[in-house]
Amino acid sequence: MSSETTGTGTGTERTISAFAAEEERRVLSLKPVLAPSHGRYGDHPHQVYDAWPSDDPDAPLVILLHGGYWRYDRMHLTPFAAYLSQQGFDVLLPGFRRSGGAGGYPETFDDIARIVATLPKGRPYVLAGHCSGGHLALWSAARGLLPADSPWHTTGDLPTGVLALAPLTDLAATRRDDLSNGAAVQLLGGEALFAERLEAVDPLTLLRGAGTTGVPTVLLHGAVDEEVPLTQFSDYAAVHHDLRTITLPGTGHYTLIEPGAPGARAVADTLREMAAAHRKEVRP
């Protein structure tokens, strides 16, 4: 398999296979899809969301957290959000304050906490996230493990379930491997503050000792992901004792969010399974 150097989508040059480079170009060049509905969950310009509401009142609700190493906006995920809507889901795609601008620590995490407190309106839902969005989804599920005096601690505003798609699970490893030109360091406000802030926002760190968040969680990734090191998935699975892991053979990082691709179909199927399992669990 040939290889090439690319900076597409992540802001850093790295050597990847031609397969991965083509996958990245193909998915990230998809034309954005305009949502039929929009709303706000706060006053900041980034505190907005796109909605693909379902006509079926019983349609499973999915809140999608976009990737982009906490820096980029949600537009690249709009084709996938529209695809999930066509698959029968009620879909919300929020924006949030991002690194390099109005966000990073603590604002990005403040916004995720506000999203899950505001948008579901009491409905059961799966919180799904891709790449750095997967990190935020896993973090959201682990907020019950934070110290009681943390502003983000909660035992109530937790997702019904989490589906983490090729997630960044380990911020220390993300820093060590210098993924996307220091994205993890930027998120936490610089090297001087990294260690101090890590414990409150790192999924792998929060799981050590606890072993579970108590939220049904599935980690789904491609076997040939060249964007996020595969050790991030296995290391997280080693500390999350009731995690379900799904590995898709021959699948890379980006086709998980490519409408109609086998990876995206597997995501939709998993979301259906998670919604059905919750309905069965709460059925009287």
Please check whether residue 108 is in contact with residue 74, taking contact to mean a CB–CB distance below 8 angstroms: no
| Reported pTM | 0.94
Q: What per-residue confidence (pLDDT) applies to 215?
A: 97
> Which of the two residues, 118 and 15, has the higher pLDDT score?
118
Please name the residue that has the structure tokens 């709460």.
282
Q: What is the pLDDT of residues 94-144, one digit of tens each?
A: 999 999 989 999 999 999 999 999 999 889 999 999 999 999 999 999 999
Q: What per-residue confidence (pLDDT) applies to 8?
A: 33
Q: Is the pLDDT of residue 284 over 70?
A: no
Q: What is the pLDDT of residues 217-264, one digit of tens each?
A: 999 999 999 999 999 999 999 999 999 999 999 999 999 999 999 999
Pairing of strands 37-40, 48-52: antiparallel
Per domain, the residue ranges of the chain are: 32-282
**Which structure tokens are listed for 118?**
């505001």
Please check whether residue 253 is in contact with residue 227, taking contact to mean a CB–CB distance below 8 angstroms: yes
| CB burial string 145-160: b at 16+ within 10 A, e below | bbeeeeebeeeebbbb
Q: What is the pLDDT of residues 23-73, one digit of tens each?
A: 999 999 999 999 999 999 999 999 999 999 999 999 999 999 999 999 999
Q: Work out the average pLDDT over 144-151.
A: 97
Q: Is the pLDDT of residue 149 over 80?
A: yes
Q: How confident is the model at residue 170 (pLDDT cuts 50, 70, 90)?
A: very high
Q: Is the pLDDT of residue 11 over 70?
A: no
Report the alpha-carbon distance of residue 22 to residue 27 in Å, rounded.
Answer: 9
Q: What per-residue confidence (pLDDT) applies to 281?
A: 78
Q: How confident is the model at residue 9 (pLDDT cuts 50, 70, 90)?
A: very low
Which fold is adopted by the domain 32-282?
Rossmann fold (3.40.50)
